[in-house]
Structure 1
Amino acid sequence: MHTSSLQQNILAELDHELVTTRKLLALVPFEQADYQPHPKSMKLGQLAVHIVNLLAFKQLFVQHPSRDFLDPNGPKPGPAPTSHEGLLARFDEASASLRAALQESDDEKLTDGFRLHRGEQTLLEMPKATAIRIMGLNHSIHHRGQLSVYLRLLDIPLPAMYGPSADDKIWG
């Protein structure tokens, strides 16, 4: 499939990553939500919820010119899901909402600037498409990698992500 627009390329990349992310999130054992492989690591449940909440962060890049972390009226993710059903429902809702926002956007809007800041302190300033890829997709993939390590340490077989996993029969 040939995708020629910035918007279509981001949507194709997003769709690919959402499938893999959902497969991994479906494996999270909520009865072990407090599992923490290291004292400096997030707990398993926190990490899974963070991955899902990053979808709303990506949508923010698409729909707004900036986000001030000090703004008390800024978007908040709401209470953390405490079950598979709740986590996957939030994931599906946020995925659909992000896809819709991207579909309503266009290449010109995606080249507009986005500023992430804390009051007067600029944390990042870049084109929206770049912010979506770096602080959105890459950030999510990074945390998804962490989640795969947590699951491996809990002896939960992993699905294929970018090719077969060590748990796939293809490796023998």
Structure 2
Amino acid sequence: MHTSSLQQNILAELDHELANTRKMLERVPFEQADFKPHPKSMSLWQLATHVVNLLAFKTLFVQANSRDFLDPNAPKPGPTPTSKEELLSRFDEYSTILIEALHSSNDEKLTNHFQLHRGDQILMDRPKGAALRIMGLNHSIHHRGQLSVYLRLLDIPVPGFYGPSADEAGGF
């Protein structure tokens, strides 16, 4: 009987979700970067950039043991991309770094805890693998879902992720 490791499972899930996320980002129209479906919403470009920058956060879960939001020396994402090409280039770069970090890790390291805090306030304390799935993958999938609504409202065909979308043959 063959058993998959935690690391292998995360890599397989990540491979699938990264491909879907890139399909979505390829459709984001830079010329409508300021679009907001509601005053409380992020702009289209802020949301797309956040989806990309979350990849660096996922890498942090794998490579570090903690992150303090109040630490002025903590790693920060680069400046906001100024074109779709720049956004996709950052996505590809951050994806590669994350995959390499996961390949350099192992199941034992992924069961070590990662702590997210703001000064003395602990926001999250979970095994790295769980942090990666909950605050990394699930968080990204949530925001990708928001992006799909933005695209729908802009009348841009939404790609299918787990089967065809309503914009593709056989979709519903």
CA distance in structure 2 between the aligned counterparts of 1:44 and 1:29, rounded to whole angstroms: 9
SS, match of residue 125 in structure 2 = strand
The one-character-per-residue Cα deviations of 1:53-74 (angstroms, maximum 9, x if unpaired) are 0000000000000000010100
Residue in 2 aligned with 1:95? 95
The one-character-per-residue Cα deviations of 1:117-169 (angstroms, maximum 9, x if unpaired) are 00000000010000000000000000000000000000000111111100112
Residue in 2 aligned with 1:26? 26
The one-character-per-residue Cα deviations of 1:47-101 (angstroms, maximum 9, x if unpaired) are 0000000000000000000000010100110101011100000000000000000
Displacement of 1:20: 0.3
Query: Is the 2:49–2:80 contact (alpha carbons within 8 Å) kept by the matching residues of 1?
Result: yes
Residue in 2 aligned with 1:47? 47
Counterpart residue type for residue 31 of structure 2: E
What does 1:10-159 correspond to in 2, within 5 Å? Answer: 10-159=10-159
Counterpart residue type for residue 61 of structure 2: F
SS, match of residue 170 in structure 2 = helix
Deviating runs (4+, > 4 A) in structure 1? none
Q: TM-score, normalised by structure 1?
A: 0.97
Displacement of 1:21: 0.1
- The share of aligned pairs that are identical, in percent, is 73
The 3 A distance-change label for structure 1 pair 24 and 96 is same
Query: Is the 1:3–1:9 contact (alpha carbons within 8 Å) kept by the matching residues of 2?
Result: no
User: Which stretches in structure 2 are left out of the alignment for 5+ residues?
Assistant: none
Q: TM-score, normalised by structure 2?
A: 0.97
User: Which stretches in structure 1 are left out of the alignment for 5+ residues?
Assistant: none
